[in-house]
Chain A
């Protein structure tokens, strides 16, 4: 590799945030480039709808841009951005509900047993057996079968990689509730996907 073709060292998010706060648009754009795909995927899995996912994406970055001067950096930039995106996504879901007076969180219970019913091995590499669009639809349908309160925890913990503590703070839940919801979400999703991916 020649010296000129070597990649420049990747700047930390915190450095980009500092530069963006000082008025450097290229620094903010670099943050957008870093996280736009993840925020779109989060919006899609949360709302199950490409139009809503685009709204979540736009609103999250526009709000991040507007409120950047107030971002105190006591959390990672990405965690802060995810918080904004989740709030936008949940607002979309609330708007869809006919009874808007019931908060989404009230519809969730961590109690009750989860009894697996599907015990058949999955086909090897199921993602390779379907066209990309098909597998995405299967995953989205399974995610939409979860109550939003479980879906959100699953997406934050398992897909976005937030810690239990970060997820609890972001959703205003106890860490125990996050763990209970994650457990139920994982098993319920597994059950849904097993119906499609089982051998036989």
Chain B
């Protein structure tokens, strides 16, 4: 397999993040990342992007929203039980 260029690397970054590359392609991509600063930045910041959206501390459920949800469900339950 020939060496990957930046365009090839970029196309595979998403599959690499998902661990879906075959071993040969993975090795070539890692080799490219080891010397290409631009692709390394794209890879690192893409990974960080995903981590930020998954951060469980962000977007907390407000207490009053939770209360309204539980009251609505309880009401529906009681209506059904009648």
Binding site for B on A (CB under 8 A): 25, 28-29, 32, 36-37, 40-41, 44-45, 50, 54, 57-58, 61-62, 65-66, 114, 116, 118-122, 126-127, 132, 135-136, 139, 143, 154-155, 158-159, 179, 182-183, 186-187, 189-190, 193-194, 197
Contacts and interface: CB of A to CB of B under 8 A. Distances in A.
Contact of B49 (A58, A121, A190): A190
Contacts of A127: 52, 55, 58
Contact of B69 (A25, A36, A50, A135): A36
B54 A159 contact: yes
B21 interface: no
B37 to A, nearest CB: 8
B54 A116 contact: no
Contacts of B82: none
A49 B29 CA distance: 39
A66 B75 CA distance: 12
B53 A120 contact: no
B50 interface: yes
B4 interface: no
A135 B57 CA distance: 11
Contacts of B56: 37
B15 A179 contact: yes
Among B14, B49, B50, B55, find the residue whose CB has the most chain A CB atoms closer than 10 A.
B49
Interface residues of B, number: 36
Contacts of B59: 40-41, 44-45, 136
Given A37-B61, A136-B59, A190 B42 contact: yes
A186 B53 contact: no
A119 B61 contact: no
Interface in B15-45: 15, 17, 37-38, 41-42, 44-45
A27 to B, nearest CB: 12
A136 B58 contact: yes
B69 A58 contact: yes
